Amino acid sequence: MYSLRLTAGLFALVSGLAAGSLAAASLKSGADAHWPQFRGAEGSGVAAKTARPPVQFGPGTNVAWQVALPPGNASPVIWGARLFLTACENGKLITLALDTDSGREVWRREVVPAKLEEVHPSLGNPASGTPVTDGERVYVYFGSVGLVAFDFDGRELWRRPLPLPQTEYGASSSPTLVGDLVVQLVDQDGASFLVAVHKVTGAVVWRVDRPEMRRGFGTPIVWEHQGVTDLVVPGTIWLKGLDPRTGDERWRVSGLARITCTSPVVGDGLLFTASWTTGGDRSADRISMPGFDEVLKERDRDHDGKLNYAELPEGPIKQRFKHLDGNRDLLVDRAEWESMADIFSRVENQAFAVKPDAQGRLSDAGVLWRFKKGLPYVASPLYYQGRLYLAKNGGMVTCLDPLTGQPHYQEERLGATGDYYTSPVAADGRIYFASQRGVVTVVRAGDTFEVLRQNDLGEVVQASPAIIGSTLYIRTAGHLYAFRDPAAR
């Protein structure tokens, strides 16, 4: 791992990021009026204890307000009277600020990139990363531009250009705030990196190259435990803990998927994660790759020592040509082939819990359990009221004991099929699971599975909900809804 160290001019800006100031500024907010980042305070997906969102809602039920929105997959974030999200329309990257009470648009700022990043043709959008706010500024990441900061009045404060992501699905990792730093993860098919910039100036404070990471879409979280603050970063095979002041690695635990779309969560002093990608199960569908020399001998028709698309063997390897071709030269060389072959040989889809040692470090030795069924692809796990919940594509939910990994129930059907590309959120003893087809199923939290209500929004949903007080905010393909039960207090 290569880490760009602090320059002398920037060291003073971050020297105050000692453990105490980190703890004070890492978005550990219990305020009812804040949902400041992807999945809310601490990235947990759990609303404040006083939150009372509705169980029954829909386009004609318990609608406090609704507004039409341009397309985007970013989730809403909220600070007091302001709600922020991003969108992309007509080649323009848009940052929006809305009034939380009425949905009225307060301001809109547009950025026209030199080139839009490549995204999935049906599911992707160049505005997929969720903003983050500290109550003074809002920070957004567009893969086509980089990081941009605005104040609450919509003035652009700085812009930090970053290279276009090298993945055909586009970027969707969201920025993370830790102390005075905005951290952005860019895991891709080649040249993956993690960068931290100063939140006031946008100046790069440190950058860590991640050559062993190949394509990822999870978002780092900040974890304060045992007197230390870790920046917990998901990636290919490895879950890592970094010193947020410098980017230096403190620990790592193996067990993540080849492509990690989920973000980790914490609870009761433990760290939880779950990830799944095709070809990573110990089954007949597991993907493996033959030796590079063997393939060259059989298929290198032009004898250049590399493999172009036509020369690749038919099947799952050829289908992942862009994943293999990390440097985008339209050829797969020995290093690219062997790197991916090593990943395929080592990955194993699973969920696990890990406990820190006395020094606050984590390793495979601290893993309490590993669970390999009912795994989510995109939906991050949820830790709520002493249980861990997993949402699998197809509409199946598993509830695990966090200490043992034993299921309270396993792969119970929500009754709403399809993919689940949003992450579940929880409030008032209930959990909200939103399917891509737009059906939000409300489940009672507990050891037994009980569906309380299904709510069909009639539009695709790919952004995770937010909850403030008695209001549930959900972004659909064309609208933003604020659902509220008038009887709630």
pLDDT of residue 489: 60
pTM of the entire predicted model: 0.92
Closest by Cα among 125, 135, 377, 411 to 259:
377
* Count of helices and strands (H, E) across the chain: 6, 34
Radius of gyration, alpha carbons of the chain: 22
Residues of the chain with pLDDT under 50: 1-3, 7-9, 11-16, 18-30
pLDDT of residue 345: 84
Exposure string for 67-79, b = 16+ CB within 10 A, e = fewer = bebbebbbbbbbb
pLDDT of residue 336: 86
Distance (Å, whole) CA 221 – CA 43: 6
pLDDT of residue 316: 86
Closest by Cα among 238, 242, 229, 172 to 211:
238
Specify the 3-state DSSP secondary structure of 255. coil
Tokens of 266: 């914490």
pLDDT of residue 9: 43
User: CATH 2.130.10.10: which residues of the chain?
Assistant: 2-277+347-484
pLDDT of residue 346: 86
CATH architecture entry for 2-277+347-484:
7 Propeller (2.130)
* Cβ proximity of 427 and 444 under 8 Å: no
pLDDT of residue 115: 94
pLDDT of residue 22: 43
